[in-house]
């Protein structure tokens, strides 16, 4: 194609492959900047998609129901993602109403602030009840009710892809299966299990995964849940 130049040429530049790559990178960055993201001034949509989690503790006869509502960002595009927008906790037990209400408002505000909000999970899970914690089904120790709320939020964030679940690789799975088989061979084909049928009744608490799954094997305490052992 021919172009007519009406002005005097004062300079020129030949585009290199590096210049083209930089231009494409800038275009991609501009596209990313134009994507919708969570921020404190985001408008609440007409419809939110939520999930409800039930928490039943031995400390109360009434269960807690945690509802987490999510907002769909960039819906219908390849960058569509689901992000938590608000949290509600309901229960017939009004004993903890005041601090539970305050907690849900603070968590909801952090969610709407945007950015990486996954740190909330570890903060909540690290709260210990001075009166002592309790054990859930499967022998998992829960240090407090607040910590269990943190575990429920963690489960939700995993389901929407914000937190990647750390799964065991094939070698670790084989190791745990071998240890479990070895323990059953020593203590019989059907060793006495805990009330949930997950791990031996004589197992003690693992300091790494907080599960009652540590048994004595070959003179060494080994966890049948995470494989932690001081002899490795």
213-226 per-position pLDDT tens digit = 788 777 778 887 77
Tell me: the pLDDT tens digits for 59-94?
888 899 999 999 998 878 888 889 999 999 999 888
The position carrying tokens 């909000």 is 117
Separation between Cα atoms, residue 49 and residue 168, nearest integer Å = 31
57 within 8 A of 145, measured Cβ to Cβ: yes
Count other Cβ atoms within 10 Å, centred on residue 156.
Answer: 22
Alpha carbons within 13 angstroms on the beta-carbon side of residue 157 total 21
Of the candidates 43, 66, 46, the one whose C-alpha atom is nearest the C-alpha of residue 146 is 66
Tell me: the pLDDT tens digits for 162-220?
888 766 566 766 766 776 677 666 665 555 555 555 677 778 888 777 777 788 777 77
Tell me: the pLDDT tens digits for 99-134?
999 999 999 999 998 888 899 999 999 999 888 888
120 within 8 A of 110, measured Cβ to Cβ: yes
The model carries a pTM of 0.66
Identify the sign of the CA torsion 75, 81, 82, 86.
negative
Q: Where are the domains of the chain?
A: 49-159, 170-223
**pLDDT at position 149, please?**
94
Give the DSSP H or E segment for 64. strand 64-73
**pLDDT at position 186, please?**
62
107 within 8 A of 153, measured Cβ to Cβ: yes
């Amino acid at each position: 194609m021919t172009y007519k130049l009406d002005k005097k040429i004062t300079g020129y530049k030949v585009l290199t492959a590096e210049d083209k790559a930089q231009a494409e990178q800038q275009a991609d960055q501009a596209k990313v900047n134009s994507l919708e993201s969570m921020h404190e001034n985001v408008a609440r949509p007409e419809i939110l998609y939520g999930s409800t989690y039930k928490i039943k503790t031995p400390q109360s006869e009434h269960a807690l129901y945690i509802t987490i509502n999510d907002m769909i960002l960039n819906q219908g595009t390849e960058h569509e993602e689901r992000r938590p927008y608000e949290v509600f906790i309901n229960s017939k037990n009004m004993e903890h109403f005041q601090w539970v209400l305050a907690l849900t408002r603070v968590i909801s505000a952090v969610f709407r602030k945007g950015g990486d909000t996954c740190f909330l999970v570890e903060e909540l899970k690290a709260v210990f009840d001075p009166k002592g914690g309790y054990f859930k089904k499967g022998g998992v120790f829960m240090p407090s009710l607040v910590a269990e709320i943190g575990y429920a939020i963690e489960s939700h964030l995993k389901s929407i892809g914000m937190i990647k679940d750390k799964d065991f690789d094939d070698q670790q799975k084989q190791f745990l299966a071998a240890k479990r088989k070895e323990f059953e061979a020593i203590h019989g084909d059907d060793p006495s299990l805990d009330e949930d049928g997950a791990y031996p009744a004589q197992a003690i608490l693992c300091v790494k995964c907080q599960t009652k799954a540590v048994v004595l094997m070959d003179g060494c305490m080994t966890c049948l849940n995470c494989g932690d052992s001081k002899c490795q």
